[in-house]
Amino acid sequence: MPSSRADTDLLAREGLSEESAAERARQGLLNKDATPPTKSIGRIVLDNTFTLFNLVILVLGGAILAVGSYKNALFMGIMVVNTLVGIVQEVRTKRVMDRLSILSAARVQVVRGGAVKPVGREQVVLGDVMELCRGDQIVADCQLLTGACEVSEAMLTGESDPVHKKPGDTLLSGSFLVSGGGRALVTEVGQAGYAARISGHQTRTERPQSQIYGSVRRIIKAVSVAIVPVGALFLYSQLSIDGATVQQAIVSTAAALVGMIPEGLVLLTTSVLAVGVIRLARHRVMVQELVCIEQLARVDVLCLDKTGTITQGQMKLEELVCADGQDSDRAAKMLADFCGVMAGDSPTLDAIAAVHCNRQLAVDPVAVVPFSSERKYSAVQFDSWGSLVLGAPEIVLPGALDTAFGGRLADRPRHSRTLLLCQSAQPLTGDALPAALRPVAAVLVQDVVRPEAADTLRYFAEQGVALKVISGDDAQTVAAIAQRVQLPGAERYVDATTLQSDGDIAAAVQQYTVFGRVSPEQKQKMVAALQRQGHTVAMTGDGVNDVLALRQADCSVAMASGAQAARNVSHLVLLDNDFSSMPRVVAEGRRSINNLQRSAAIFIVKTIYSILLVALFLLLHRPYPFAPIHLTLISALAIGIPSFVLALEPNHERVQGDFLKNVLYRALPGGFSTVLMVVATALLGPLLGFTAAQVSTLCVFFTAVVGFSLIAVLCLPFDWLRAALLIFIVAAFLAGSLLLGPLFSMSALTLPIAVAALVGGLLAAGLFAGLSHLVEKFLHV
């Protein structure tokens, strides 16, 4: 900090020279973030290559190659394809996210050579002077040189109350300005900053919880724990069968273990979400958290901040109505002087300043109280006028609108926002209202409604998503605007200043649709109350007063034109500031997760029947009927191809229920049907005169029939793509079995095998249908 007031003023006015800033950049004194926004390409390659399942498959493949059964090692090709597809998809997603991150990156205003210029956050150097205003997130630790502000440190400390800062005070990186502004000297950069030290410099303190990734991890963990002891036990069992060779035992064990591994499930999950990111990018929507696409699909309550969503965030001054006994010219001059000091403090003041603003004040104000959403007013003390206060009438001077305007405000449009300008001869003390306030004028300001808002809100209502409008403005005004865009339930509104406890808030969010005079802390509590009531909540907002609620929501959406702090904490950013993009955003989330649930069931069927068959064949002490080459054919045609095609289909139903339960319920009929058919074939086949190779062929055929039956059910209702998919995979399986039988270790077709396959195939399809009906009836799937 400079040693004298004059030095401080000079530094604040001039900042660093361009030469000094360039020299410090060369010295490495930049505000570099050691944590990249997305994974590096090298990290992506490593994460996709060195996985537990790849290791298991390599070990099993190596064992099969060692005993000379080369064609049975073809399943390693699926591992290679999965790995390559995963790498390519993640790299594509990374490039899209990086490109959009550049478009939406926060720009920091720094003073260089006496001029204010915007730079990227990583171009800020030690000793820079930053110009800060309301809504800015502080990108580096700094010391306030001039001005005064209130700062929220909620993302650092969890404390929601703003902290007042005066010259000489420290501003911590990761906090943001809720009111006021000034110029500040950068004292720490990069990893030396407070936010980087405590949390690795993440803008969000908590990552959204992914039910899907959690479920997939549980499946992988269970299989991983079991695979080594089960593999050892199964190998010993197969070796102890009379007449078994080492090659047969290793091939059978490899088939059993490969079947247990849902090797494509992780790839499917990542790919579906990655495709969602890329599709949203085409609509100018930036995804900052991949798993938020899952949360989108589950949203059943959407909380809207009026400004920037229903309205454009731009306002226009309608009228200045003087109080009884006040002169209109005098009132206009007061307002102009007030706006000469406060213009830029909020969009409302900017709208007023466009008409009434004196930017040539002869004397600096004595004191200033900047606007904040908590106070709902701002104030300036002048030598000439005394103290002027502009804010919400019911906060500044309750009852004045009814008593001081002779009924002239009775006919004002309900959708207009009304502010009250008051005067007092008493000085400002801190941020408290001065005593003896007298009304001067009512200032009527109107929000500009987005033309597309009505259609967008109608879409959500039709989709069964409850809508809540949460605003800091007057409840009646907000309700009137909501009615203009035909929001269902807009007539049910409440003034949040009447909600005194958390219990009041919990009851109100069930009863009302529109909430006015809501403080930032109350917004957060409303979102939390809805979550406690079992709802999945999305929140849209663009202001600094929305940050706490955006951070609390399951899925948060900010406008690119909104406050920097709001963008930084949100999962999604609408780069075109177009609220009408929201239906596409939600539809993409639903498409991704509904199809992922549907396709994941296909993978889990194989894991279910493989685990059960391993257990049963250990007890039966019989040769395992599958070889890895059989599972390669089944995995490609009855699992891999259909799962990825179905995962990319349109599907706009709201996701409900637990992901793992939904997947298991869909997979159980297929898994149990396969087990019953394979065990019956293994036991009855030799009694009917079939050889071991013929028994294996029939087991592969029946397994494929069950798989195709599941796919047929998942394809309902059929369209041309789904019908073509089913025809293709069935035809490809028959062609592979009949024309490439020796490659896939399938026995030649004979009349007895054809008859057994036909009868058993019909039985397998019927068994699957019956078990599906039972699961649907008793588990309500």
pLDDT digits (tens, 9 = 90+) for 295-321: 888 889 999 988 777 887 677 888 889
Residue at 413 is within a domain: no
Looking at the predicted structure, is the pLDDT value of residue 201 above 50?
no
Q: Show which of 177, 199, 221 is a domain's final residue.
A: 199
Query: Bigger pLDDT: 764 or 318?
Result: 764
Is 469 in the same domain as 566?
yes
Q: Which of 102-116, 515-529, 714-728 has the lowest mean pLDDT?
A: 102-116
- Residue 376 CA to residue 346 CA, distance in Å, equals 11
What confidence score (pLDDT) does residue 1 get?
Answer: 58
Indicate the pLDDT class of residue 563, thresholds 50, 70 and 90. Answer: confident
Is 214 in the same domain as 122?
no
When mean pLDDT is compared over 201-215, 439-453, 703-717, the highest value belongs to 703-717
Question: b/e map of 190-214 (b: 16 or more CB within 10 Å)?
Answer: beebbbbeeeebebbeeebebbbbe
What confidence score (pLDDT) does residue 203 get?
Answer: 44
Query: Bigger pLDDT: 70 or 4?
Result: 70
Q: Which of 210-219, 276-285, 446-455, 479-488 has the lowest mean pLDDT?
A: 210-219
What confidence score (pLDDT) does residue 214 get?
Answer: 80
Single-letter amino acid, residue 43: R
Arithmetic mean of pLDDT, 628-633: 90
Residue 305 designated active-site:
yes
What confidence score (pLDDT) does residue 86 get?
Answer: 80
Looking at the predicted structure, is the pLDDT value of residue 653 above 80?
no
Is 615 in the same domain as 744?
yes
The CA-CA-CA angle for residues 530, 661, 764, to 5°, reads 150
CATH number assigned to the domain comprising residue 539: 3.40.50.1000
- Which position among 128, 136, 141, 305 bears the catalytic label? 305
What confidence score (pLDDT) does residue 77 get?
Answer: 82
When mean pLDDT is compared over 408-417, 633-642, 750-759, the highest value belongs to 750-759
CATH number assigned to the domain comprising residue 23: 2.70.150.10
Indicate the pLDDT class of residue 682, thresholds 50, 70 and 90. Answer: very high
Whether the Cβ atoms of residue 140 and residue 536 lie closer than 8 Å to each other: no
Give the residue numbers spanning the domain of 133.
Answer: 5-30+106-199
Q: Which of 22-31, 195-204, 265-274, 457-466 has the lowest mean pLDDT?
A: 195-204
Q: Show which of 181, 199, 217 is a domain's final residue.
A: 199
Query: Bigger pLDDT: 159 or 713?
Result: 713
Arithmetic mean of pLDDT, 376-391: 92
What confidence score (pLDDT) does residue 105 get?
Answer: 62
Is 719 in the same domain as 763?
yes
Q: How far is CA 684 from its chain centroid?
A: 53
- Residue 399 CA to residue 411 CA, distance in Å, equals 17
Arithmetic mean of pLDDT, 374-385: 89
CATH number assigned to the domain comprising residue 687: 1.20.1110.10
Whether the Cβ atoms of residue 733 and residue 633 lie closer than 8 Å to each other: yes
Indicate the pLDDT class of residue 12, thresholds 50, 70 and 90. Answer: confident
Looking at the predicted structure, is the pLDDT value of residue 165 above 60?
yes
**DSSP-derived 3-state class of residue 32:** coil
Task: Tell me whether residue 268 is exposed, middle or buried, using C-beta atoms within 10 angstroms of its C-beta: 0 to 12, 13 to 18, 19 or more.
Answer: buried
What confidence score (pLDDT) does residue 202 get?
Answer: 40
When mean pLDDT is compared over 288-297, 580-589, 610-619, the highest value belongs to 610-619
Q: Which of 99-108, 338-347, 624-633 has the lowest mean pLDDT?
A: 99-108
Looking at the predicted structure, is the pLDDT value of residue 740 above 70?
yes
The model carries a pTM of 0.75
Give 698-729 as a DSSP string.
HHHHHHHHHHHHHHHHHHPSP-HHHHHHHHHH
What contacts 37, CB < 8 A, 6 or more positions away? Answer: 97, 98, 101
What confidence score (pLDDT) does residue 198 get?
Answer: 64
* Cis bond before residue 717 (omega within 30° of 0): yes
Residue at 98 is within a domain: no
Residue at 234 is within a domain: yes
Indicate the pLDDT class of residue 36, thresholds 50, 70 and 90. Answer: low
Whether the Cβ atoms of residue 574 and residue 559 lie closer than 8 Å to each other: yes
Q: How far is CA 56 from its chain centroid?
A: 33
Arithmetic mean of pLDDT, 487-501: 92
The sign of the dihedral angle between the CA atoms of 371, 377, 383, 385 is positive
Is 574 in the same domain as 595?
no
Is 629 in the same domain as 541?
no
When mean pLDDT is compared over 83-87, 190-194, 300-304, 599-603, the highest value belongs to 300-304
Is 634 in the same domain as 717?
yes
Is 643 in the same domain as 679?
yes
Is 117 in the same domain as 82?
no
Q: Which of 63-72, 149-158, 702-711 has the lowest mean pLDDT?
A: 149-158
State the DSSP H helix or E strand holding residue 89, giving kind and residue range, or none if neither: helix 75-104
What confidence score (pLDDT) does residue 508 get?
Answer: 95
What confidence score (pLDDT) does residue 160 get?
Answer: 64
DSSP β-bridge partners for residue 321 = 442
**DSSP-derived 3-state class of residue 743:** coil
Indicate the pLDDT class of residue 158, thresholds 50, 70 and 90. Answer: low
Residue at 469 is within a domain: yes
What confidence score (pLDDT) does residue 361 get?
Answer: 67
Is 736 in the same domain as 594?
yes
What confidence score (pLDDT) does residue 204 get?
Answer: 45
Average pLDDT of the chain, as a whole number: 86
What confidence score (pLDDT) does residue 579 get?
Answer: 83
Residue at 360 is within a domain: no
Q: Show which of 531, 551, 585 is a domain's final residue.
A: 585
Arithmetic mean of pLDDT, 182-209: 70
